[in-house]
Structure 1
Amino acid sequence: MTVSLLLGPLLRHVGETTATVWVETDAPCHVRIRVDGDVTATAATFTVHGHHYAVCEIEGLPPGAALPYEVHLDDDRVWPEPHSAFPPSVVRTVDPQAPTRLLYGSCRTPTGDAPEGVVRYGPDMLRATARRLVGEPVDGNLLLLLIGDQVYADEVQEPMRAFLSQARSAAPDDGAPEDEVVHYDEYAELYRQAWSDPQVRWLLSTVPTLMVFDDHDVRDDWNTSAAWRSAMDARPWWRARVTNGLGAYWVYQHVGNLSPAQRDKDPLWARVHEARGDAAEAVDDLALRAHEDPSSYRWSHQHDVGPVRILMADTRCARSLDEEAPGDGSRSILGAEGHEWLDERLTGGPDHVVVASTVPVLLPPAVQYLEAWNEAVCAGAWGRAARGPAERLRQALDLEHWGAFQYSLRRLAAGVGELARGERGPAPATVLLLSGDVHFSYLARARGLGGSEGAGRVTQLVSSPLCNQLPVKLRRLARLSISAPFRLAGRVLTGLARVPRSGLRWHLEGRPYFGNTIGEVSFDGRSAEALWYHHPDGGPDALPKVQSRASV
C-alpha cells in the first residue's frame, strides 16, 4: 500500500548546521528527507489517536545554506509534488554573521481567498506572503513567527462544521458544542484545513517557522480569570477539549519549536518514542497535567539567531489566576516559573532581544488603564458587591492582556528596564515586544526605561490579524479607545481603584491600522527596521505592499 502525505512538510526549528522537518502521513512508514540529493535524515512515524507523524532532524548542513530537499515515504517521493507551480522547497540554516528578518503575525481564519471569505475576513496575508517570496530573493536569515490563533477551535468555518456534523452523526452525544472542536480527530482536521492551502503549504515548507498558542487554539478567552476557568471546568466536555487542544498543540506546533537537544530532554518526546503502538495515553497525560498544574511543563522557548535573541513566551497556559492577592504574584500572566524563565533570559550580550508575547504588553493607554482598574475591582478594591459586575465586564470586553496582570507588567517593566540600561550585561540596541491578538496593528514606544544615552530602545510592535479583520463597528470602538477623553477617564478610574503605577510610560506612534497585516522586522548589525505589509488590491493573485515602516 502506498503511503500518502497528509500535511506538511513543515520546516520548523533550524540551527547553524541542523534543520527540522515535520510531516503527517496517512499510515505508519519511514520518512526520509533528501537534501540537495545528498544529505539525508530518516525517522519512523509515531502515532497519536490513530494519526501518524514524523519529525526528521537533518544534521551536518553548512551554515547559511538554502538547499532544496525532497520528502520520501518509504520508497516513494511525495514532495515536491509533480507539476508544482512553486519553486523547490529548501532547508535554511542560520548564518550567525548575516542580517536577520523576522516575519510575524497572528489570528488567521483560512478562507482560500474565496470572494465571500475576503468580504468578511479580508485577504489572507500568509497566502500573500507566499506569493511575495516566490519572486523575491531571500538573503540572510529569514524566520516566520506565528504568535497565536493559528487555528480557531471555537469559531469554525463551513468546511469544518460539515466535518463535525458528519463525524458526530454516528457517535454518542457527549454534550460537545455542535460548532466547536472538542476531540483529537477534530483538531487534526482543523489543522489540516488550516495548513493545506497550496500557497500556505509551500510557505511553511520553505521558511523556518516558530509557533506559540493563544486562546483560540484552545478556546476564546482561555484562562482569562479564575471565574472563567471555574465555569469552564463545570462543563462536561471541557476536560476532553483542553486535553485534546493541548495534546494536538504539542504534536502540530510545539514539538517542532524544539532544537534536537531540547527535544531529547522533553519528557513527552521520550514517552512517545518508547510507546508501543499508539502514544495517545502519553500525550493526553501530559496535556491534562499541564492544564491542571501549569508548572509541570514549559511551553515557552528560546532561539538565538546570531546576535538576535528570540523569546517566545507562554502567556496562556502558564497563568496564575488567584484574585485574592493579585499584587504578590498569585495572579500572573506568566506564572512563577514563567517569570523566572523570562528573567533568566533577559540578559545583556545580544544586539537585539525580542520577546514574543501573543497578547500585547503595551496597549493603547486607555485600554491599559481600564484593564488595571478592572483587575483591582475584581480583587475587591470597590468592595465585594462590585466584583461580580467587574468580572462580567472583564469577560465581555476581553480585559485579559498584560494590563490586567499588573504584577506581571511591573515585573516585566523592571526586567526590561534593567536590560535596556545595561544593568544585566551589555545593553542591546533594541528590546522589541512582538504581539498580535487585538486585530489591529501599531507601534508603541516606551519612555524612561533606558535612562541614559546609548541605552537600548524598548518598542512594542503589534501585527494582527493575518486573516480575520475586525468588523466596521468594532473598528469604531477601537478608535474611540485611543482618544484623549477615554485615556483621561481610564487614568481617573485607576486612581479611584488605587492601582499602583508601573513606572512604564509609552505612546502610540501614528494611527493603528485595522486591515489584515503581516509584520516584518529587519536586523542588520545594531540597527532594526519594522515594516507592516498589507494587501490593498484584493484578488487571489495580488502581491502585498508595505503599509508602513519605522526605524526601531
Structure 2
Amino acid sequence: MLRHVDSVSASIWVETGEPCTVTVEAAGRAYRSPTFTVHGHHYAIVDLVGLSQDIASYSVSLDGDQVWPLAGRPASRIRLMPAEGPRRMAFGSCRTSVPHDSAHVRTHGDDVLRAYGVSLMRAGDEDWPDLLLLLGDQVYADNPSPQMLDYIHARRNTEPQGEIADFEEYAELYRQAWTDPEIRWLLSTVPTAMIFDDHDLRDDWNTSHSWRAKMARTSWWPRRVVAGLGAYWVYQHLGNLTPAERADDPLVRELTEGGGDGGPALDAFAAKADAEPGSNRWSYTRDLGHTRLIMIDTRCARQLTPGDRRMLDPEEWAWLEEQAAAPARRLVIGSSIPFLLPEGVHGVQNWNEALCDGKWGRTAQRLSEQLRQFVDLEHWAAFRRSFEDLSRLLVRLGRPAVILSGDVHYSYLAKASAGQIHQVVCSPIRNPLSRLLRWANVLTQFGLATLVGGLLARLAGIRRPPFRWRVTKGPWFQNALATLTFPDEVEVTWYESTGDGVRPIDSVRLS
C-alpha cells in the first residue's frame, strides 16, 4: 500500500507471510527495510527518500524474490505531492468487504472504490487524485461478511459470536478488505490517509459514559478494544505518519528495533490509549501547499463526563486550535462524523443530550440514553459545547474551511450562513441503506426533524447555534465516492459505479 507521500518522499506499507527484508526498487534505486512482527504477523514500511520526480513504476521483492506488481495489472506508480498542493483529493467512508458477485451486488451494491480503481486504470493524469482519504469504517468488526464469519467459526465457538474477537481475526478482516486485485492495485498507487469511526471497533463506540460502562462489564470487550486499536495502529495509523514522525515514535522504535514478537508491546499501548486517551494522539495534520489537512479523531479523544461532554477533550481541543490557526489558504478537515447535520436533526441531538444529562428528570434521562444509543444520536450536535467551540473557531479564523465526513450512509452538501464553511458528506462507499431505511431517513431527518428539532431544543432551554446552515445538495443514498478539485475554486463531485467505472452523480463549486 502506498501511504504517506510528499514532494520528496513516499512510504510503502507491506504485510508479508514470513520475516524477511522488503526491497522496493524504483527509478534505478533500491530501498530496503526488515519486517517487524506483531502477534505472528509480519510488516514493513519502506521509505523512498530524496525523490525529485514522479516514479513511473516500482517493484517489491521479499528476500530477493519479486512479488509485485501483479501480472496483468498496470504498473504501480508514485506521483509526488505537488509543492503547491494537491490538484485533486478523493474521499469516502463506510465500506463493507463482501464479494463482487451478483448476489452481493444485489444486497450491497457495487463497490465504488473498486470501480474507481478500474476507472483509474484507463484515466489520464488530469483525473488522478493526489490523495485518497478514507474517513472511517474501513472495516466492520461488528458485522463481518459471511466469508469472515466462516473464518471465525472455524477457529472458535466463544463470545463474541458473529464479531471480531482478537488481533488474529482483525488481521484476516483487513486481508479480506484490501486484497481484491483491483483494490490492491488502487491502494498500491494512490496515496492514502485514514481515520477510524465506530465500526472499525464497534457500533456506537464511545457514544456516552453509559455506553463505556456497559461495555466494561462485557467479558470479551477488553480484549476486543485492545485488538481493534492495535490493528488500527498497524494497518491504518502507521501509514498516516511521516517518516520523521515514525522515527520519533517510541512504539515504532520498540517494534522495529526490539526483535522478537511485539504483540505485548502493542497490546499495552492500545490498552493505555483506550483507558487514557491523552496518552496518544490519533489525529494528525499535513501541510499540502495551498491546503492544510487536519484529520480529527472524533472517537477515542472524546470526554464523556455527564454534564461536560466534549467531542475532543481539552488537550485534544488545544491541539486542534493550534493546528487550525497555522498559516494556510484553506482548511480541509476530516471528521468521520458530520459536523453540520440537517438542522432539524441537529436540534434533536441537542435536545437528547440535555435530557441525557437530566434536564427533564431521571426517567427521561434513562429513556433518552436508550434513544441515543438506538438511533445513533452521537454526532457533533450531541456534544453541543464542542460544536459551538468549533463553530466560533472557524468563523474567527475567517478562511475557507471544508469539512469532509461520512458515517450517515447518505451524501450531501451543507453551507453555513457565516464564514466560508462547507460540510461535504460522502457515505457509503459500499454499504447502502435498504429502501425502507432510505425513506425513513428522508422522513425523519429531512421531514419530521426539520419540524420538531428546533422546538424540542427550545423546550429544553438550549440556545440557538452560533450560525445557521442549510443542505444545498442531496441527499443521495447510493454507494458513492467523492472528489475535491483545487486550487482556485474548489469543486466537489460525487460519483457512483457503472460496474466497470464511475460516473458523476452531481458536481458543485464551493463559493
User: What range describes the TM-score normalised by the shorter chain of this pair?
Assistant: over 0.9
Distance 2:449 2:234 in 1: 43
Distance 1:400 1:485 in 2: 19
Q: Does 1:126 align with 2:113?
A: yes
**Residue 119 of structure 1 aligns to which amino acid in structure 2?**
R
Q: Does 1:373 align with 2:351?
A: yes
1:347 CA displacement: 2.1
Q: Are residues 35 and 544 of structure 1, via their aligned partners in 2, closer, same or farther at CA, if it must alter by over 3 Å?
A: same
Q: Tell me the residue number matched to 2:67.
A: 78
Q: Tell me the residue number matched to 1:547.
A: 505
Q: Does 1:113 align with 2:79?
A: no
After superposing the two structures, state which structure 1 stretch, 489-498 or 346-355, moved more. Answer: 346-355
- TM-score norm. by structure 2 comes to 0.97
Aligned equivalent of 2:206, options 204, 220, 223 = 223
Distance 2:124 2:319 in 1: 37
Aligned equivalent of 2:475, options 506, 509, 512 = 512
**Residue 133 of structure 2 aligns to which amino acid in structure 1?**
L
1:482 CA displacement: 4.1
1:333 CA displacement: 1.1
Q: Tell me the residue number matched to 2:403.
A: 433
What are the residue-to-residue correspondences of 1:396-475 with 2, within 5 Å? 396-420=374-398, 427=399, 430-448=400-418, 450=419, 457-475=420-438
- Are the equivalent residues in 2 in contact too, given 1:94–1:141 (CA < 8 A)? no
Q: Tell me the residue number matched to 2:312.
A: 334
- Are the equivalent residues in 2 in contact too, given 1:432–1:460 (CA < 8 A)? yes
Q: RMSD of the alignment, in Å?
A: 1.3
1:99 CA displacement: 4.8
Q: Does 1:40 align with 2:30?
A: yes
Distance 2:319 2:30 in 1: 35
- Are the equivalent residues in 1 in contact too, given 2:86–2:288 (CA < 8 A)? no
Task: Write the deviation string for residues 119-167 of structure 1: whole angstroms up to 9, x where unpaired.
Answer: 1111101101101111112248610000100000010111101100111
What are the residue-to-residue correspondences of 1:25-424 with 2, within 5 Å? 25-36=16-27, 38-63=28-53, 65-81=54-70, 83-84=71-72, 86-97=73-84, 99-139=86-126, 142-168=130-156, 173=158, 176-323=159-306, 325-326=307-308, 331-347=309-325, 349-420=327-398
**Residue 142 of structure 1 aligns to which amino acid in structure 2?**
D
1:338 CA displacement: 1.7
1:345 CA displacement: 1.2
1:98 CA displacement: 5.8
Q: Does 1:530 align with 2:492?
A: yes
Q: State the SS of the aligned residue for 1:130.
A: helix
Q: Does 1:17 align with 2:8?
A: yes
Task: Write the deviation string for residues 366-391 of structure 1: whole angstroms up to 9, x where unpaired.
Answer: 11111110000000111122110000
- Are the equivalent residues in 1 in contact too, given 2:133–2:192 (CA < 8 A)? yes
Distance 1:191 1:123 in 2: 19
Task: Write the deviation string for residues 250-271 of structure 1: whole angstroms up to 9, x where unpaired.
Answer: 0000000000111122221121
**Residue 159 of structure 1 aligns to which amino acid in structure 2?**
Q
Task: Write the deviation string for residues 269-328 of structure 1: whole angstroms up to 9, x where unpaired.
Answer: 1211232200011100110000000010000011112111111100001111011x23xx
- Are the equivalent residues in 2 in contact too, given 1:109–1:151 (CA < 8 A)? yes
**Residue 213 of structure 2 aligns to which amino acid in structure 1?**
S
Distance 1:411 1:280 in 2: 39
Q: What are the ranges of 5 or more consecutive residues in structure 2 without an aligned counterpart?
A: none
Q: State the SS of the aligned residue for 2:57.
A: strand
Distance 1:512 1:24 in 2: 38
Matched residues, number: 509
After superposing the two structures, state which structure 1 stretch, 495-504 or 405-414, moved more. Answer: 495-504
**Residue 383 of structure 1 aligns to which amino acid in structure 2?**
G
- Are the equivalent residues in 1 in contact too, given 2:56–2:75 (CA < 8 A)? no
Q: State the SS of the aligned residue for 1:160.
A: helix
- Are the equivalent residues in 2 in contact too, given 1:348–1:419 (CA < 8 A)? no
Distance 2:35 2:101 in 1: 35
Distance 1:236 1:487 in 2: 41
Q: State the SS of the aligned residue for 1:373.
A: helix
Task: Write the deviation string for residues 6-64 of structure 1: whole angstroms up to 9, x where unpaired.
Answer: xxxx000011111000000010000000013x12211000000000000101101115x
Q: State the SS of the aligned residue for 2:377.
A: coil
Q: Provide the identity percentage.
A: 43
Distance 2:165 2:86 in 1: 43
What stretches of structure 1 move > 4 A for 4+ residues in a row? none
**Residue 363 of structure 1 aligns to which amino acid in structure 2?**
L
Q: Are residues 468 and 485 of structure 1, via their aligned partners in 2, closer, same or farther at CA, if it must alter by over 3 Å?
A: closer
- TM-score norm. by structure 1 comes to 0.90
Task: Write the deviation string for residues 70-118 of structure 1: whole angstroms up to 9, x where unpaired.
Answer: 001011111012x32x210012211113652110000001123211111
Distance 1:354 1:543 in 2: 27
**Residue 473 of structure 1 aligns to which amino acid in structure 2?**
L
After superposing the two structures, state which structure 1 stretch, 217-226 or 92-101, moved more. Answer: 92-101
Task: Write the deviation string for residues 489-545 of structure 1: whole angstroms up to 9, x where unpaired.
Answer: 111100111112221210001330000000100012x3200000012x4x4xx2110
- Are the equivalent residues in 2 in contact too, given 1:112–1:124 (CA < 8 A)? no
Q: Are residues 404 and 162 of structure 1, via their aligned partners in 2, closer, same or farther at CA, if it must alter by over 3 Å?
A: same
Distance 1:121 1:517 in 2: 12
Aligned equivalent of 1:495, options 449, 458, 461 = 458
Distance 1:446 1:352 in 2: 16
Distance 1:511 1:92 in 2: 33
Distance 1:79 1:355 in 2: 34
After superposing the two structures, state which structure 1 stretch, 22-31 or 526-535, moved more. Answer: 526-535
After superposing the two structures, state which structure 1 stretch, 469-478 or 45-54, moved more. Answer: 469-478
**Residue 467 of structure 1 aligns to which amino acid in structure 2?**
R
